[in-house]
Amino acid sequence: MAAVQTTGNGDVRVVALNGSICHTRKSISKRTKASRRRKSTDRTTRLLIVILVLFLLTEFPQVCFSVFFAQMLNKL
């Protein structure tokens, strides 16, 4: 069991029955900011991977044709 206490400066504390402070609003907000930052980084990483794969899929055939035609011109 725990009780929620507010302080005069607007902080919210969750206090256990034995009197120890479990969490404060500041510590909780730091964790949520870190979590959001991590999710944003994960999303950016996935997006970069998708863009890279799409780029390679579109460029690879062009490279193959360029190499093929260069070899054909050398044989002439």
Q: Specify the residue for token string 């009197």.
A: 19
- Model pTM score: 0.43
Return the sign of the alpha-carbon dihedral for residues 33, 34, 35, 39.
positive
pLDDT of residue 45: 87
pLDDT of residue 9: 60
Return the sign of the alpha-carbon dihedral for residues 19, 25, 30, 32.
positive
Residue 27: give the domain boundaries.
2-75
The three-state secondary structure class of 39 is: helix
Tokens of 44: 């950016």
Count structural domains, the chain: 1
Smallest Cα–Cα separation from 18: which of 36, 43, 38, 1? 1
pLDDT under 70 in the chain at which residues? 1-31
